[in-house]
Amino acid sequence: MTYFLVIPSSLPSVYITSCGYGRRGRSRGRSSRSCDGRASSSDDTQRRRVGTEAEKKAISLLSKLRNELQTDKPFLPLTDNCLDADIWNKYLEYHHTLLNENNKKISWFQSPWLYVECYMYRRIHEALVLSSPISYFDVFKESKERNFFESQEAIKTLCSYLQDLKKRIENLDEKQLKDEFLKLFQIVLWGNKCDLALSPNQSIPQTSSPLAVLEDLKPYILVNNLDYLWSLLISRKKMRQETFSITRVDFIMDNAGFELVTDLVMADFLLASKLATEIHFHGKSIPWFVSDTNKNDIYWLIEQLKAANTKCMSECGINWEYYLKHSWIYQDHMFWTLPHEYCTMSQVATDLYAELEKSNLILFKGDLNYRKLVGDRKWDFTVPFHQALNGFHPAPLCSIRTLKTEVQVGLAPGQGEEITDTDPQWMTTGKYGIFQFDGAL
């Protein structure tokens, strides 16, 4: 996989004139105003000058980063004042000790690929943090929003289907409910194709009906453990009728845009069907891997849906806004944007691990989460998923991903080799997908 660090000639000018001072520990100061309440022209000029200087600094830092990457320079410690900087720098020291016994500094071409990728995105964030007042500008925002707008027809189809399903959901028998469960989870899977980190210069919209292609895509699901998920949730639903307990499902989110819509549709269905009573979403605290979802992406998407001219879309937006105030909980944690594998979570982020232990089912979306679940290693295809998790078992969990990187475990004997014979690039195209469950604690 090849990454291109594209340095813009300028950042969006609308941001330069409108941004506030968002650095941690600093309030958004009130600007001087003329007697009639309007900002004076001198204030506008000052804000534009400060914004332009910040823009130049950010671009300079990003250009320096690109040069370091292209010329295999040693990794540098982070210099910003973010809470995770010390953790990153200690991890850098750890890798220096682990990989370079002859005291050579680790560099871009000589380090584990997963670590390099995470380090690059953290350095991009650092370039903005050091460029106040645009410290918290999301450089990937435009790409994520474009993916949403270019997927409008598919989103409308999905929202319409959900609204119709909810009207008749109380009348479905168990078999019919399971059919809908399986169908919507397949939509969630194939929505994961929309990964902008693979093609940062172009959107990957969902242009066809996500419902019409499901049957044709079934042969490309290499591991399908959806029956385990269904058994777990339907059993808890039946038990809850006697014990009045809750059923909590956690989404460890991946991409914004169309994929985010599929996640929210699935969460809505789980509540409407009473297969779950509580939904937790876990997003990124900073812009990450181009299209990864953060809090702003969720609220922006909901506002777009609320304002849509199509009734089914606006209804979804209104409902999801309500749920986020009641039965849906969004949270982020710096661990999701650290380079650590998830098997270290119980030591590195004990609070997050303890929170996930409260879940009844954790859904890990996408490739990056899978790589951190099993380690970015060249596993034999038949190594059991449970073994590759290396002791990470806060609760029953399921990985939902379309394959875009060369790591996969838990296949049947000969399955990987057979696919390789007919499709040598099968692990990196997003053509194949998995629902891989581990229920052992």
Kindly state whether residue 199 falls inside one of the protein's structural domains: yes
Residues 207, 121 within the same domain: no
Yes or no: say if 343 and 231 are a contact pair by the CB < 8 Å rule.
no
Phi, psi of 114 (to 5 degrees): -65, -40
Report yes or no on 39 lying in a domain: no
Domain end position, chosen among 137, 170, 192: 137
Give the confidence band of 349 by pLDDT, cuts at 50, 70, 90.
very high
Domain presence at residue 161: yes
* Residue 403: inside a domain: yes
Please state, for a pLDDT cut of 70, what percent of the chain lies above it: 84
As given in the structure block, the two tokens for residue 436 are 């891989």
Helix axes 258-272, 141-150, angle to 10 degrees: 70
Structural domain that includes position 118: 48-137
- In 3D space, the residue among 124, 120, 126 whose CA is nearest the CA of residue 107 turns out to be 120
Query: Taking 60 as the threshold, does the pLDDT of residue 250 lie above it?
Result: yes
Strand 361-365 versus strand 328-332 pairing type = unpaired
Q: Which of 353, 299, 371 is nearest to 330 (CA)?
A: 299
Question: Among 87-101, 148-162, 245-259, which stretch is predicted with the lowest mean pLDDT?
Answer: 87-101
Total tally of structural domains belonging to the chain: 2
Does residue 108 sit in the same domain as residue 163? no
Among 137, 158, 181, where does a domain finish? Answer: 137
- Reference 374, options 403, 331, 413; nearest CA is 403
Residues 128 and 177 in one domain: no
User: What confidence score (pLDDT) does residue 434 get?
Assistant: 98
Model confidence pLDDT, tens digit, residues 211-249:
888 999 999 999 999 999 999 999 999 998 777 789 999
d(CA 382, CA 161): 38
Task: Say what the pLDDT of residue 21 is.
Answer: 28
Asked whether residue 104 falls in the same domain as residue 157, the answer is no
Mean pLDDT of 365-383: 96
Pairing state between β 361-365 and 433-438:
unpaired
Q: How far apart are CA 122 and CA 396, in angstroms?
A: 30
What is the pLDDT averaged over residues 247-264? 97
| Cis bond upstream, residue 8 (ω within 30) | no
Predicted local confidence at residue 329, as pLDDT:
97
Q: Mean pLDDT across the stretch 201-216?
A: 70
The reply to whether 271 and 385 lie within a common domain is yes
Q: Find the mean pLDDT for residues 124-128.
A: 97
Shared domain for 209 and 334, answered yes or no, is: yes
At residue 427, does pLDDT exceed 70?
Answer: yes
Is 7 part of a structural domain of the chain? no
The pair of structure tokens assigned to 9 is: 């000639």
Strand order in the sheet with 221-224: 221-224, 433-438, 397-402, 361-365, 248-252, 278-283, 328-332
Whole-number pLDDT of residue 201: 47
Cis peptide before 384 (omega within 30 of 0): no
Are 131 and 173 contained in the same domain? no
Q: Which ranges constitute the DSSP H helices of 192-277?
A: 214-217, 226-243, 258-272
Mark whether 100 and 227 lie in a shared domain: no
In order, the DSSP letters of 36-76 are TSSBPHHHHHHHHHHHHHHHHHHHHHHHHHHHHHHTTPBP-
Chain CA centroid to CA 197, Å: 11
pLDDT value of position 102? 59
Last residue of a domain, one of 113, 137, 161: 137
Vertex 282: Cα angle to 94 and 318 (nearest 5): 160
C-alpha span between 59 and 146 (Å, rounded)? 23
Is the per-residue pLDDT at 394 higher than 50? Answer: yes
Q: How confident is the model at residue 38 (pLDDT cuts 50, 70, 90)?
A: very low
* Average pLDDT for the chain: 87
Phi, psi torsion values for 356, nearest 5 degrees: -70, -25
In this structure, what CATH number is given to the domain that contains residue 254?
3.40.50.10880
- Asked if pLDDT for residue 113 goes beyond 50, the answer is yes
Nearest Cα residue to 268 out of 154, 178, 192, 161:
161
- What single letter denotes the amino acid at residue 274? K
Half-sphere exposure at residue 391, Cβ-oriented, CA atoms within 13 angstroms = 6
Q: Which one has a higher pLDDT value, 197 or 338?
A: 338
Residue 316 pairs in a beta bridge with: none
What residues pair up with 401 in beta bridges, in sequence order? 434
Q: Please tell me whether residue 364 adopts helix, strand or coil conformation.
A: strand
For residue 331, the cross-strand partners are: 282
- Are 82 and 165 in a shared domain? no
Q: Percentage of the chain with pLDDT > 90?
A: 77
Q: How would residue 11 be classed by pLDDT, with cut points 50, 70 and 90? A: low
Q: Which residues contact 342 (CB under 8 A, 6 or more apart)?
A: 372, 373, 389, 392
Query: For the ranges 40-49, 120-129, 219-228, 251-260, which has the lowest average pLDDT?
Result: 40-49
Q: Which of 146-155, 209-218, 288-297, 353-362 has the lowest mean pLDDT?
A: 209-218
Q: Where residue 24 falls among pLDDT bands split at 50, 70, 90? A: very low
Are 60 and 207 members of one domain?
no
**Over 70: is that where the pLDDT of 391 sits?**
yes
Q: Indicate whether 346 belongs to any domain.
A: yes
* Span 405-419, pLDDT tens digits: 999 999 999 999 999
Q: Comparing C-alpha atoms, which of 265, 263, 186 is closest to residue 218?
A: 186
Q: What DSSP letter does each residue of 118-151 carry, written as one string?
A: HHHHHHHHHHHHTSTTSTT--TTHHHHHHHHHHT
Q: Do residues 117 and 215 share a domain?
A: no
Please report, for the chain, how many H helices and E strands are present, in that order: 17, 7
Task: With respect to residue 3, please indicate whether it lies within any of the assigned structural domains.
Answer: no
Planar angle of CA 342, 346, 347, nearest 5 degrees: 105
- Report pLDDT for 220: 97
Q: Is the domain of 133 the same as that of 198? A: no
Distance, CA of 136 to CA of 138 (rounded, Å)? 6
